[in-house]
């Protein structure tokens, strides 16, 4: 069995999760923190637990190795979106430096968890550089797209490029639009989810023209999310395996498009754990290795 970290669509072999209990702590903590973290509304703990239990069951039904990140008082609710604190590479995990101030301690907490689980670390992004994992997506084994956003800056991309180029990887910088501004969570993967070889779910109205043309010129099939399903996270789709994916429920048009292209689409209710905090299934997971 051949494994790689340089894929967004091979069958997931190993990944990280952070549970609701260990990220949200309890309802008192949620009520005290959701506003300063810029959540759209306060998540209800009991509903969040049920949503996560269902989502977790989907993940664990297809994946053989799941590592849970532990409770850590140094981090907050956003740590449930565990993709953002690191990038998986074939030479080890690359720790990010978060662009959102309230998330700055997540990479150091993740470092400890990785070391405790004997997961190799390649390096880290340091200030003044910033990179968040939601801005980073593999387009192929040797091509990494990185969004230049309010969360990921030029210095962060420079450091990332320096660390990953020796692995034979080309880094493509995607300059993202302002959209809703600095406080909004708007990553590259807000508008792009690679889900199979040369197939991606996209939201074209917010895609830079050069990047969209790059994908088309490289024979990508782009599955466009309609306007009325962008805010409900129709573009945030996690490939569990080739032609099998999971997304937030409530996006029937996008789901139908995927099914018409031969994808099996699993859904979960994500009002509390996804929509309110701005993190869909790609954000809730940090895949490490996938089967080639």
- Per the document, the length of the chain is 292
Let me know if residue 276 belongs to a domain: yes
Instruction: Indicate the burial class of 46 (C-beta count within 10 angstroms; 0-12, 13-18, 19 or more).
Output: exposed
Q: Is residue 132 part of a domain?
A: no
pLDDT on residue 225: 98
Tokens of 178: 């302002």
In a domain, 64, yes or no: yes
pLDDT tens digits in sequence order for the chain, 292 residues long: 899 999 999 999 999 999 999 999 999 999 999 999 999 999 999 999 999 999 999 999 988 899 999 999 999 999 999 999 999 999 999 999 999 999 999 999 999 999 999 999 999 999 999 999 999 999 999 999 999 999 999 999 999 999 999 999 999 999 999 998 888 889 999 999 999 999 999 999 999 999 999 999 999 999 999 999 999 999 999 999 999 999 999 999 999 999 999 999 999 999 999 999 999 999 999 999 999 9
In a domain, 170, yes or no: no
pTM for this model (two decimals): 0.96
Domain count, the chain: 1
* Number of Cβ atoms within 10 Å of the Cβ of 203: 21
| DSSP reduced 3-state for 54 | helix
* 209 is a domain residue: yes
94: domain CATH number? 3.75.10.10
**In angstroms, how far is CA 231 from the centroid of its own chain?**
16
Q: Is residue 99 part of a domain?
A: yes
Residue 227 counted as domain residue = yes
C-alpha span between 64 and 76 (Å, rounded): 28
Nearest CA-CA partner of 87 in 189, 174, 183: 189
Q: Which residues contact 76 (CB under 8 A, 6 or more apart)?
A: 23, 33, 37, 102, 103
What is the rounded CA–CA span in Å between residue 135 and residue 81? 13
Boundaries of domain holding 260: 3-123+193-291
pLDDT of residue 185: 87
Q: Could you tell me if residue 178 is inside a domain?
A: no
State the Cα–Cα distance between residues 265 and 247, nearest whole angstrom. Answer: 7
- The per-residue pLDDT for 219 is 97
DSSP string, 269-285: --IIIIITTT--TTTTE
Give the Cα separation of 289 and 292 in Å (integer).
9
Kindly state the helix (H) or strand (E) to which residue 221 belongs, with its residue range.
Answer: strand 221-224
Q: Edge-to-edge, what's the strand order for the sheet holding 121-124? A: 86-89, 92-95, 121-124
Instruction: Take residue 127 and report the two structure tokens written for it.
Output: 């200030």
């Amino acid at each position: 069995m051949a494994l790689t970290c340089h894929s967004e669509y091979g069958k997931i072999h190993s990944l990280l999760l952070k549970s609701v209990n260990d990220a949200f702590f309890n309802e008192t903590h949620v009520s005290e923190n959701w506003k300063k973290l810029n959540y759209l509304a306060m998540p209800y703990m009991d509903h969040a637990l049920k949503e996560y239990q269902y989502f977790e069951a989907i993940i664990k039904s297809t994946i053989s190795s799941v590592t849970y990140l532990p409770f850590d008082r140094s981090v907050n609710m956003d740590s449930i979106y565990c993709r953002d604190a690191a990038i998986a590479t074939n030479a080890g995990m690359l720790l990010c430096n978060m662009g959102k101030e309230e998330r700055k301690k997540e990479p150091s907490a993740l470092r400890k968890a990785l070391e405790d689980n004997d997961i190799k670390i390649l390096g880290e992004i340091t200030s003044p550089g910033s990179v968040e994992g939601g801005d980073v997506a593999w387009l192929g084994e040797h091509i990494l797209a990185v969004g230049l956003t309010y969360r990921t800056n030029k210095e962060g991309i420079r450091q990332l490029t320096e660390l990953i180029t020796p692995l034979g990887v080309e880094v493509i910088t995607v300059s993202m639009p302002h959209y809703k501004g600095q406080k909004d969570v708007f990553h590259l993967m807000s508008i792009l989810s690679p889900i199979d070889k040369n197939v991606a779910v996209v939201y074209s109205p917010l895609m830079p023209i050069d990047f969209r043309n790059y994908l088309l010129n490289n024979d990508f099939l782009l599955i466009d999310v309609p306007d009325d399903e962008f805010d409900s996270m129709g573009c945030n789709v996690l490939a569990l395996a080739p032609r099998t994916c999971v997304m937030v429920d409530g996006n029937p048009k996008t789901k139908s498009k995927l099914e018409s292209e031969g994808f099996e689409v699993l859904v979960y209710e994500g009002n509390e754990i996804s929509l309110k905090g701005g993190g869909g299934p790609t954000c809730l997971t940090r895949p490490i290795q996938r089967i080639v």
